[in-house]
Structure 1
Amino acid sequence: MGITLQDIEVMLGVPVGGFLMVEKTNLKWKDVCTELLGHQPLDPIQHPNENKSILVEARIRVNWLEARFGAPLAVDASDAVVQQHARYHILVWLGSILFMDKSAERVLVMPLQFLNLISDAKKYSWGSAALTWLYRHLCKASDTKAMQIGGVVMLVQLWVYSRFPQICPITRLPQQPVQAGPLANSL
């Protein structure tokens, strides 16, 4: 028994058909951000024990992205700027649901390479990539020192509730407030 591609498609509505998301992972992510988002992250801090860098491997800080794209788009914005903002919003959505980082303060930059042309995004199998990411994080979570988990955690919860309905939380209606005075007055 395990989470399958059918589960991710039925429970989350994420497409599993299409091209597999197998691309280069040795890209210079700083250059990818510059090209597709229009902003270049600063160089990483040289102290390996400090986690204050904007871009670490293929993960970028969400607050840095929000500082660049948080303001509303100008009415006369060029098509390139609109595309950059759209990529930002899609990247944050993907990073907060499908490709969640266990720190919850960074998003994965890897999906950005599949958003070069936003209209081509529907050609890819986002569900299989998200399920692969989830299995990777489930494997890491099995380590005795692991304290957090990443991936599509919402899918795990939905899957458990659908397979084991007896542990699903039950919504109860609120009870009527207790009347002041004797109980006999309320009958």
Structure 2
Amino acid sequence: MLGILVDGLFVIGKTDLQWNMVCRELLGHEPPPVILNSNRSILAGARIRYKWLEAWFVIPPAANAGDEVMQQHARYHLLVWMGALLFMDKSADRVSLLPLQFLNPISNGRQYSWGSAALAWLYRHICSASKKD
């Protein structure tokens, strides 16, 4: 329905990255430190709060912004789009940062089989949801 590729490179990445550093490198902003045993943290594992991201990217980049700033804004918009449509989970306030590692540079995103990755994500979450506990 979305015209997302089902052929291309496999979406296989790392899950044990230092996500605060990934955010700083690819989005230009580093989330504050994690608050232990609290649901108020901006970053929880590889998931980050939408509102925190939105606060940084609510203002469009200037017309004369450099390539890096434009790439950061494009990554933000793709991340939110992917989190809302392809890789959603039960939380309504966080987005997974996992796809971010495949968007450096932003043009790399075209190489991957996002449709297959979304299907695998869906199957994983259906399996988790079907457990008795």
With the shorter chain as reference, the TM-score category is over 0.9
For structure 1, list consecutive stretches of 5 or more residues without a partner in the other structure: 1-10, 146-187
* Structure having greater relative contact order (Cα 8 Å, sep ≥ 6): 2
Which residue of structure 2 lines up, in the alignment, with residue 89 of structure 1?
77
Which residue of structure 1 lines up, in the alignment, with residue 28 of structure 2?
38
Distance 1:75 1:12, change over 3 A: closer
- Quick check: 1:99–1:130 contact (8 Å CA) kept in 2? yes
Read off the aligned partner of 1:26 and give its amino acid letter: D
Which residue of structure 2 lines up, in the alignment, with residue 111 of structure 1?
99
- Quick check: 1:96–1:104 contact (8 Å CA) kept in 2? no
Which residue of structure 2 lines up, in the alignment, with residue 59 of structure 1?
47
Which residue of structure 1 lines up, in the alignment, with residue 14 of structure 2?
24
Q: Which structure has the bigger radius of gyration?
A: 1
TM superposition shift of 1:144: 3.4
Which residue of structure 2 lines up, in the alignment, with residue 160 of structure 1?
none
1:100 maps onto 2:88 in alignment: yes
For structure 2, list consecutive stretches of 5 or more residues without a partner in the other structure: none
Give the number of equivalent residue pairs. 133
CA offset digits 1:66-120 (Å, max 9, x no partner): 0000112212211110100000000000000000121121000010000011111
Identity of aligned residues (%): 60
CA offset digits 1:17-61 (Å, max 9, x no partner): 000011221111111111000000111111x2x211101000000
Q: TM-score, length-normalised on structure 2?
A: 0.95
Read off the aligned partner of 2:98 and give its amino acid letter: M
- Quick check: 2:89–2:125 contact (8 Å CA) kept in 1? no
Q: TM-score, length-normalised on structure 1?
A: 0.69
Task: Give the distance between the partners of 2:86 and 2:99, measured in 1 at CA.
Answer: 10
Which residue of structure 2 lines up, in the alignment, with residue 185 of structure 1?
none
Task: Give the distance between the partners of 2:45 and 2:34, measured in 1 at CA.
Answer: 9
